[in-house]
Structure 1
Amino acid sequence: MQFPLPALICDVGGTNIRVARLDRPGAAPATVGHAGTRSAQGLAEAVAAMEQARPARSMIVCAAGPILGREVKLTNAAWTLDGPAVAAALGLEQGLLLHDFEALALSIPTFPADRLQAIGPELGQPLGPRLILGPGTGLGAAALTTVDGRYLAIASEAGHVEFGPVGADELALWPHLEPVGGRITSESVLSGDGLSRLHRARLRATGDTGEPIDQAAVVARALAGPEGPEGDSVRLFWRLIGRFAGDLALIYAATGGVTLAGGILPRIAPLIDDKAFRAAFEAKAPMEPLMRAMPSRLLTQPEAVLAGMAAIATDPDHYVIDYAARAWCR
């Protein structure tokens, strides 16, 4: 498999599209543009508007939704992305579509050390499967392992599993959480909109009927006044992220550690309580010794996935991907 250069590298989320360009092997991808997902009819139209008269030969795209071969329907936006159709519209010789957290998992080996903030003790980088997860418009998760020295990512839709309360404080507010599609899922609580739902539920549980605010306002007020109710909601959000991360780490036996990503977490990093996070992460009796040995880190550079996908374009044979079934042009 080859991805002829220049190649476009695209990160398509429910809210934003980021596009970069790789002109030669080993180079850092250069930013092409950034747009709102809802501002364009589709990916080909968005890229054409950014690139104008600069044609590319191939493209690697990650998108926030379940991948079915060469197609994805975005979970939190109205796009259906058809890889071969995009290739035809842009005159590409080759292309590949990845789940957004599949791409993040494959990018873990390329993350700069100075963009990883330890949560809790520095435990190094033990051997074994590695997990990445995080909230943005939705909630994503994937694992990374190796097969004969090649990287293999295991994508998931873990954001859509049921999510329940633990402890008296959570039991008190859970009846006040607003269901999404009739369900309380991990994504409906642990996402951008989930933070605002969690904050509203906390206020309702205490009898506060004040005007509801969105997640941007929750974050702004929490950072400006950490001891206020918004700060309490963000700290609870972090604790729930820790619990959920520990659950998934246990499922994947992620002895290689856990990386948190997602657009919202770097913004609320000043309010993380490492001890509370690790306590929630490790409270998995009888597996506490296993959990205590798993490092946890926060990725503070959202654009890091673009460099990871550029590495795939440069050396595709280093990754275990079913190119025969998933590449756009045969």
Structure 2
Amino acid sequence: MSKPVLVGDVGGTKIRLALASSSLGHVQLHNIKVYDDPTIPSFEDAIEDYLSSSDVKPKSALFALAGPIADDGSIKLTNRTWPRVVPSVIQSRFLIDSATIVNDFAAMARAIPEIPNDSFETVIESHFSPEGPILVTGPGTGHGVSTLIQSVTGGWHVMTGEGGHSAFAPRNMREAAIRDVIARTYNYVSVEMIVSGRWLMPVYEAICELERVTPEDLSPQNILDRADAGDKVCVEVCKFRANALMGAVGDAALITGAHAGVVLTGGVAERMVKWLRTTEASDRFLERGPMSPFLAHTPVSVLMHDEAPLIGAAALALE
């Protein structure tokens, strides 16, 4: 068994920390701890709490954080108000020989080959096994995008970007009207602002305005429950977001040539499986005009595995 490595996954809502090791080529996680307290003042404070309760003092660490990595390896998280996270500061404070920061969707993508098939829910099935890149993308608090490519030697390479912040492209007049209501306040309307958890209420409120009804203070689960019961506004919220997500995912798959498959991740995608499987949503992914055959055999699935980014961080750290 390899020496333990401290790994972490930090999104806009939760922090997960664990010790990772490798045995016979398989990643193993130990002592997983989840923090969901929004008042934690910094990432370093979470690390401090975790290490204070552990008898193991790791000498290396790799953390997957939601945001673009700067040239010096530091990161300012997109959906948190924390100070910038700097690897050298972590090394000095916790006497760690090496600390590395990667984009959270680099870890999410790298986890895919390590996770069993029964952790995936099929959205669009394919009876073919095409070779090529795998697009790993999805809405949680924000919306991440990455591409996983297998090398000729059998290893894996991950490419990340900030595709969630690409512009939302309406497909009809109603979608354009919803976009325009949101744009009055925020000007630029990205895909993330339409499909992610953080932006659910602006979408709901925009549809309420167009329907001339007063918005209520609803939780995401309230909206899903009301949609299941046939509430007109909540049904449109779910359909609109599912269609928008599948449309954006189809765009990204077309751009990256993701013949080997698309994996949707994140808590929002997990809760939207029913709506993503509708014919209307599937058509948003598949209909590409003259290029529709390009995606005709690309499978789409939803990953149902809370520890995936930790597994991916461990795989990256232990490679």
Q: Give the TM-score of the pair, scaled to structure 1.
A: 0.87
1:250-289, CA deviations, whole angstroms, 9 ceiling, x for partnerless residues? 1101111110001212123234334222200011111100
Contact 2:110 2:315 in 1 (8 A): no
Contact 2:264 2:301 in 1 (8 A): yes
Aligned to 2:303: 299
SS at match of 2:106: helix
Aligned to 2:6: 8
Asked whether 1:196 is paired with 2:201, we answer yes
Q: Whole-Å Cα distance in 2 between the matches of residues 45 and 289 of structure 1?
A: 50
Q: Whole-Å Cα distance in 2 between the matches of residues 29 and 209 of structure 1?
A: 47
Aligned to 1:160: 165
Contact 1:61 1:98 in 2 (8 A): yes
* Aligned-partner residue type, residue 284 of structure 1: R
* Aligned-partner residue type, residue 11 of structure 1: D
Aligned to 1:313: 317
Contact 1:44 1:90 in 2 (8 A): no
Asked whether 1:73 is paired with 2:76, we answer yes
Aligned to 1:32: 32
- How much does 1:229 deviate? 2.6
Aligned to 1:177: 182
Aligned to 1:320: none
Q: Indicate the percent of aligned positions where both proteins have the same amino acid.
A: 26
Q: Whole-Å Cα distance in 2 between the matches of residues 284 and 208 of structure 1?
A: 35
RMSD over aligned Cα, in angstroms? 2.2
Contact 2:179 2:189 in 1 (8 A): no
Q: 1:115 aligns with which of 104, 116, 119?
A: 119
Q: Whole-Å Cα distance in 1 between the matches of residues 133 and 114 of structure 2?
A: 16
Q: Whole-Å Cα distance in 1 between the matches of residues 301 and 193 of structure 2?
A: 23
Aligned to 1:82: 86
Q: Whole-Å Cα distance in 2 between the matches of residues 220 and 174 of structure 1?
A: 24
- How much does 1:82 deviate? 0.5
Residue 8 to residue 219, structure 1, CA distance change in 2 (3 Å): farther
Q: 1:232 aligns with which of 226, 230, 236?
A: 236
1:290-324, CA deviations, whole angstroms, 9 ceiling, x for partnerless residues? 1111111110113112122222333x2xxxxxxxx
Of 213-222 and 304-313, deviating more is 213-222
1:202-228, CA deviations, whole angstroms, 9 ceiling, x for partnerless residues? 1211211333535453234335x2554
SS at match of 2:240: helix
Contact 2:27 2:311 in 1 (8 A): no
Equivalent pairs counted in the alignment come to 312
Contact 1:258 1:297 in 2 (8 A): yes
1:66-114, CA deviations, whole angstroms, 9 ceiling, x for partnerless residues? 0114200001112211011112211112222110111112222112200
Q: Give the TM-score of the pair, scaled to structure 2.
A: 0.90
Contact 1:104 1:308 in 2 (8 A): yes
Q: Whole-Å Cα distance in 2 between the matches of residues 186 and 280 of structure 1?
A: 14
Moved over 6 A (4+): none
Aligned to 2:65: 63
Q: 1:253 aligns with which of 253, 257, 273?
A: 257
Aligned to 1:131: 135
Unaligned runs of 5+ in 2: none
SS at match of 1:59: strand
Unaligned runs of 5+ in 1: 317-330
Q: Whole-Å Cα distance in 2 between the matches of residues 210 and 260 of structure 1?
A: 29
SS at match of 2:46: helix
1:36-66, CA deviations, whole angstroms, 9 ceiling, x for partnerless residues? 3633222222022123152222211100000
1:12-43, CA deviations, whole angstroms, 9 ceiling, x for partnerless residues? 11221011112453352024311136332222
Contact 1:38 1:77 in 2 (8 A): no
Contact 2:133 2:259 in 1 (8 A): yes
SS at match of 2:248: helix
Aligned to 1:275: 279
Residue 24 to residue 108, structure 1, CA distance change in 2 (3 Å): closer
- How much does 1:141 deviate? 0.2
Of 63-72 and 49-58, deviating more is 49-58
Contact 1:193 1:214 in 2 (8 A): no
